[in-house]
Amino acid sequence: MSLTKYESFVREPLVDGDKTYNRVTEDIVYTIETKPTRLWYIGLSISLALLLFGVYSIYREVTYGVGQWNLGKTVGWGWDITNFVWWIGIGHAGTLISAILLLFRQGWRTGVNRAAEAMTIFAVMAAGQFPIWHMGRVWLAFFVMPYPNSRGPLWPNFNSPLLWDVFAISTYFTLSLLFWYSGLIPDVATLRDRAKTKFRKLFYGIASFGWTGSTKHWQRHESLSLVLAGLCTPLVLSVHTIVSFDFATSIVPGWHTTIFPPYFVAGAVFSGFAMVQTLMLITRKVMNLQDYITLGHIEAMNKVIVLTGSIVGCAYLTELFMAWYGANMYEYDAFFRYRLAGPYGWSYWIMMTCNVVSPQLFWFKKLRRNIEFTFIMSVVVNVGMWFERFVIIVTSIFRDYLPSSWSLYYRPSIFEIGFYLGTFGLFFTCYFLFSKYFPVIAIWEIKHILKTSGENYKAKMEDLEKISADEFYAKTHQH
Amino acid sequence: MTIKKFVVGCFDDENILFPAVKKVRKAGYKIHDVYTPFPLHGLDKELGMRDTSLHTVGFIYALTGLTTALGFISWILTKDWVQNYGGKPHFSLAAWIPIMFELTVLFSGVGMTLTFCYLCQLAPFVKKHHFHPRATDDQFVMVIECTSNTNVQEAENFLAAAGAKEVNVQMAETGWWLGRYDMNKKLFDNTTETVTA
């Protein structure tokens, strides 16, 4: 065990300020142990109102049928599947931060992983609504479950990407939930041990599963997190790959491309990080957590955004190139006549501007470290990514092979919009409740890196900086 | 279920805790456990624990998931419900890879988490004795179990000398996990002084 593990000065501290272990706990649990602010109530009320509107929209759709939405013969997937893919994509950042960055030993993940994982779970919950209610006769949704039944027995088609999706998303949700909650248990135990009121004692007592912090338990916990991270890493890639199969395995021009899996995964990470930025910038401000989610964290996430944004841009251009080079007239038309131009041409250009052009501004360090700019960009990116899915879905199908069935201009009905707003309500209601009752930053993980990456501890490493390598080794390996 | 006597020492710095653990073990005391607010790398080795086999269990669960998926799907699509999908072979392994992968991951993740909860006896409503309320905040709590040979006063002084900021004696319910930590179980062979509360 090292005295103080040496951490290069080139890396900026991950925790600012003069912190002790106790200070870390106090800072993070402060908002949990005090009364919610007025802002929190307002936010929660708006979210609940949206959620209720969403419930009403779904009620209309279930009672009167899918005709409540403006889908038609050609545009059979409209806002619903667009929103589904959009939310699923947003969910990807949480797993990327918590799992992939854990495997890559990126210390900065500790500041944002908890909130990002929570965001993943809520986003997947929101996403899952769309395919379910899109079924129309939703009471038959259990048909997707493979079990011996009296309908034949009738099994789902295991060769279908739609069924792969069912498996992928339910697995993804389950594992994200396990990963998130197993990380949460030690922090809930911290809250339990600090609880003053009877209700808090009971609530956090139940939720902490009797965690004591025993060394053996920590050892197993570490092993569990590491293996779950290892499992989630290919899982997160597989989920959006399979979502892209929903399109890529079809023979619709504009969907039938092999570039879809990597292109979708990059897009998902891109939009997910944007959503993490949106949430974290508000959270750190409102909950006063600037010492834990530092400018360094924001910059690191912006770097991921510019990388994935560029990959997405590359994919867009590759698609255009292949549509021309492939010399298939349907493919060519799908891109050059119905995407770049045509009635939905505006959506393509919104997509291009938001996803490809504007993130390039993050090559400038000044802009990467500018909070207001980052916030605006995070919203811009998510708008762009919503339009990406809209472009892919609607512009590929609104004019199919048979001109007589070409659809009129597709506009969502109020209940389609309401359903989308409802999922925002669901997402933010969950996030508001989570941020009030659970620590939005992983307390134990911050403590774990505090003595190597905390500002005050790094300052003490100046002495270590001066000594030679041999002396350093002798000093830190004395036990 | 037994109630035993423990000498509890609280440390506020892991750099003092590590040498202290070494000293206490060398002196022949039986460390029941060390409770820490976050994982201290190397502490498990210092306490003589063996590595966890949780990951091996995870691998077995993964294989179970994979076999389940492959067996189940191939039985359905080649025996129970044979369908002609575009003239393709009934046994079309490539198309099953996504679901096989998902079930592998699902079984492994869920199985490991449940095994973890079982091994650590973690579940809603479970209660355990907490030696110090700040063991989940900023204290590293070393708990020495008193055997028939232990001089309690001496142990207290020893802990204080090793750097413990706070030392006390507690009678505590141990639960099921006592004696499972040591690799050779040698330290735990001594009969334990049992005191009824």
Same domain, B62 and B96: yes
Greatest alpha-carbon span in chain B: 83
For the segment A7-20, what is each residue's pLDDT rounded down to a tens digit? 666 777 788 877 88
Number of domains into which chain B is organized: 2
Site of tokens 């545009």: A75
Handedness of CA B67, B69, B74, B79 (dihedral sign): positive
The band of B70, judged by pLDDT with boundaries at 50, 70 and 90, is very high
Same domain, A214 and A97: yes
Q: What's the domain range around A5?
A: 1-13+454-479
C-alpha A156/C-alpha B96 separation (Å) is 13
Distance from CA of B93 to the nearest CA of A (A): 9
Same domain, A265 and A134: yes
Edge-to-edge, what's the strand order for the sheet holding B140-145?
B30-35, B140-145, B3-11, B166-173
Among B104, B119, B134, the domain boundary falls at B119
For the segment B126-158, what is each residue's pLDDT rounded down to a tens digit? 778 888 888 888 889 999 888 888 788 888 888
Pick from A262, A244, A235: which is nearest to A175 by CA? Answer: A235
Distance from CA of A297 to the nearest CA of B (A): 22
Q: Residue A118: its pLDDT value, please?
A: 92
Same domain, B133 and B151: yes
The band of B86, judged by pLDDT with boundaries at 50, 70 and 90, is confident
Kindly report the pTM of this predicted structure: 0.89
Lowest-confidence segment of A464-478, B43-57, B149-163 by average pLDDT: A464-478
Q: Residue B190: its pLDDT value, please?
A: 38
Tell me whether 0.95 is exceeded by the ipTM.
Answer: no
* CA angle, A9 then A12 then A17, to 5°: 110
Same domain, A8 and A139: no
Pick from A470, A129, A116: which is nearest to A297 by CA? Answer: A116
Same domain, B59 and B108: yes
A:21-80 residues touching chain B, CB 8 A cutoff? 21-22, 25
C-alpha B104/C-alpha B67 separation (Å) is 8
Domain assignment of residue B47, yes or no:
yes
For the segment A45-84, what is each residue's pLDDT rounded down to a tens digit? 999 999 999 999 999 999 998 889 988 888 888 899 999 9
Backbone angles phi, psi at A67, to 5 degrees: -60, -15
The band of A307, judged by pLDDT with boundaries at 50, 70 and 90, is very high
pLDDT of B186 above 60? no
Same domain, B69 and B47: no
From A158, A213, A219, residue closest to B136, measured CB to CB: A213
**A-chain residues within 8 Å CB-CB of B96?**
158-159
Number of domains into which chain A is organized: 2
pLDDT of A325 above 80? yes
Same domain, A262 and A137: yes
Same domain, B157 and B61: no
The mean predicted confidence, pLDDT, of chain A is: 88
Pick from B34, B139, B20, B142: which is nearest to A20 by CA? Answer: B139
Q: Residue A413: its pLDDT value, please?
A: 93
Same domain, B93 and B132: no
Backbone angles phi, psi at B162, to 5 degrees: -75, -5
Handedness of CA A31, A35, A41, A47 (dihedral sign): positive
Mean pLDDT to the nearest integer, B55-66: 94
Q: Residue B171: its pLDDT value, please?
A: 79
Domain assignment of residue B194, yes or no:
no
Give the tokens for residue A140: 């038959």
Same domain, B43 and B59: no
C-alpha A427/C-alpha A406 separation (Å) is 35
Q: What's the domain range around B40?
A: 3-51+126-173
Same domain, B61 and B115: yes
Domain assignment of residue B187, yes or no:
no
Whether B52 sits inside 8 A of A213 (CB atoms) is no
Greatest alpha-carbon span in chain A: 82
Same domain, B38 and B131: yes
For the segment B13-34, what is each residue's pLDDT rounded down to a tens digit? 888 888 888 888 888 888 888 9
Mean pLDDT to the nearest integer, B166-194: 52
Q: Name the closest residue on chain B to residue A226, using Cα atoms.
A: B55
CATH number of the domain that residue B34 is part of: 3.30.70
Give the tokens for residue B21: 């653990």
Please report how the helices B54-75 and A215-248 are oriented relative to each other, as an axis angle in degrees rounded to 10. 30
Same domain, A235 and A206: yes
Q: Residue A82: its pLDDT value, please?
A: 94
Q: Residue A128: its pLDDT value, please?
A: 92
The band of B195, judged by pLDDT with boundaries at 50, 70 and 90, is very low
Q: Residue A174: its pLDDT value, please?
A: 94
The band of B1, judged by pLDDT with boundaries at 50, 70 and 90, is low
pLDDT of A137 above 50? yes
Same domain, A339 and A461: no
Same domain, A338 and A460: no
For the segment A188-220, what is each residue's pLDDT rounded down to a tens digit? 999 988 888 888 888 888 898 888 889 999 999
Same domain, B59 and B47: no
CATH number of the domain that residue A211 is part of: 1.20.1630.10
Same domain, A179 and A325: yes
**A-chain residues within 8 Å CB-CB of B73?**
158
Rg of chain A's alpha carbons, rounded to an integer? 24
Put simply, whether B26 touches A (Cβ < 8 Å) is no
Same domain, A303 and A205: yes
Mean pLDDT to the nearest integer, B178-193: 36
Same domain, A426 and A477: no
Q: Residue A449: its pLDDT value, please?
A: 83
Q: Name the closest residue on chain A to residue B120, using Cα atoms.
A: A217
Same domain, A372 and A473: no
Same domain, A468 and A337: no
